[in-house]
Structure 1
């Protein structure tokens, strides 16, 4: 089963107990954010993933040993938990999200619906030649689906979204040298009104549930 947890951002000043869960790398990142909203989203997402994973693997949240080895060898890549389940983090507006998938890599994305200043240009960036998006809602649906897929396969936005063609059942085609060969699953999510979200991974599609994680954060905040 893949579980997706949603929560509201939490200001560090209001949650010293959550800050205490973070390791040195995470605290350095937290301190670099200048905007309070960015700090609150970062803290909530990274504390929540620690709390959820701790319950899954039976290790205290503050002791989880994340590996952030990038392709270049430095410790600034996507975090993984050695020997643990796959997970993915995302945030937008007043939401943070964490997806945990026990059977491999997973990708999660959320976007807040909003007006786009140059919709045709954005659509051209996201859509393959076989796709179209008539309005902002259709655009954000495509964006979150493709961003989730790219996170799941590990390439991120280094792969153009236009290389992926989606249909009602998922991925129809994926072009390029880095196109995955494994089967892919994809699902839309419904975190809150005014938001689009999707989760994706490799292999057979699992059962997917959505939960609120605000209570977990509140219990550890002080």
Structure 2
């Protein structure tokens, strides 16, 4: 397990989950996130709950009450990451770098015309990496705003984007709201 501070109040924990079934990997990353929250807030584990409900973003509960501090979790292949943001909403996403069938169409439908244009002029050696980074950024941005993945529409520019240092073969991004900004209300989250 590795934990890093991205900026004051924003911390990311990551771990490799090789040879572990997905349900056990989910338990491991949530335990690591809970440990990180305890460490950052100086509280005991029995005061912290990471609530995960189907179709909803994870919520941080402190002493049973929903906290305004944000948490986000992501998995890709054998790698998992979680973020804790003491100043509010956060979104994190990782993606394995791989060839995506019909990448051009998927980019246009979900990442928008600017990303599609960048991918069209990229060398074939860089295309999969660029796609993975763009996808991770889009997913993290949507998670931060509490929105579900849907066909492309521009997102508000009220977020700060940080590329993560991740193992080779992965792309990772964490997104937070700019100070003084609120997430755009939306229904649900994937």
Q: Fold match, TM over 0.5?
A: yes
What displacement does 1:60 show? 2.6
Deviations 1:26-84 (A, max 9, x none): xxxxxxxxxx531232122111111111222333324424455x7xxxx8632322236
Q: Residues 1-222 of structure 1: matches in 2 within 5 Å?
A: 1=8, 2-9=10-17, 37-66=21-50, 77-81=56-60, 82-83=66-67, 85-132=69-116, 133-134=119-120, 135-157=127-149, 159-160=150-151, 162-164=152-154, 174=155, 180=156, 183-204=158-179
- What's the TM-score once normalised by structure 2's chain length? 0.73
Q: Select the structure with the greater relative contact order (CA < 8 A; seq sep ≥ 6).
A: 1
Q: Say what the alpha-carbon RMSD is for the aligned residues.
A: 2.5
- Number of equivalenced pairs: 159
Residues 112 and 195 of structure 1 are in contact (CA less than 8 Å); yes or no, is this contact kept in structure 2? Answer: yes
Unaligned 5+ residue runs, structure 2?
1-7, 61-65, 121-126, 180-190
Unaligned 5+ residue runs, structure 1?
12-35, 165-173, 175-179, 205-222
Runs of 4+, deviation exceeding 6 Å:
none
